[in-house]
Amino acid sequence: MRALVQRVSEASVEVDGQIIGKIGQGLLILVCAMRDDDPAAAGKLAARAAKLRIFRDDEGRMNRALPDIAGEALVVSQFTLAADTRSGNRPGFSSAAPPDMGERLYLHFAESLRQLGVPVQTGSFGADMKVRLLNDGPVTIWLDTADRV
């Protein structure tokens, strides 16, 4: 499972002109399930995101995690994180999970964050979404469960 995590001062997601999710300080997390992922991978990725120490402490160092600052998470599905750009100019997405599986794992990821005590807002799986964010830092971190042994 893959995630692009961005530290934000605020973020929102809109579908058909309506804001369906909005957070203040916290993380915008773009999530993509891959073909070989399972609920355990989604849970592990959620725990990694929640525990990332990328928020400033009193000395200005990145030493605090999302729960430490009472931050929120906006979780948005983004299958394009599975893009294979190794050949040609058109990305391939065959390594992304099929839509039904991708949605289940995306929702499991969001629920896993909630179970860790993180307030979570979500986008709408498969919808054409407009995402707005005020990146803080900027701080952007790539997480991939395939990177862990």
Residue 125 annotated to the active site: no
Tell me the backbone φ, ψ of residue 93, rounded to 5 degrees: -125, 20
- Please tell me the distance from the alpha carbon of residue 117 to that of residue 31, in angstroms, as a whole number: 19
Q: Does residue 21 sit in helix, strand or coil? A: strand
Catalytic residue check, 109: no
Q: How far apart are CA 147 and CA 90, in angstroms?
A: 25
Q: Which of 80, 93, 115, 140 is catalytic?
A: 80
> Among this protein's residues, is 93 annotated catalytic?
no
Catalytic residue among 6, 55, 78, 121: 78
Among 6, 79, 121, 145, the one annotated catalytic: 79
- Which string of b and e fits 4-26 if b means at least 16 CB within 10 Å? bbbbbebbbbbeeeeeebebebb
**DSSP class per residue in 43-55:** HHHHHHHHH---E
Active site residues: 78-80
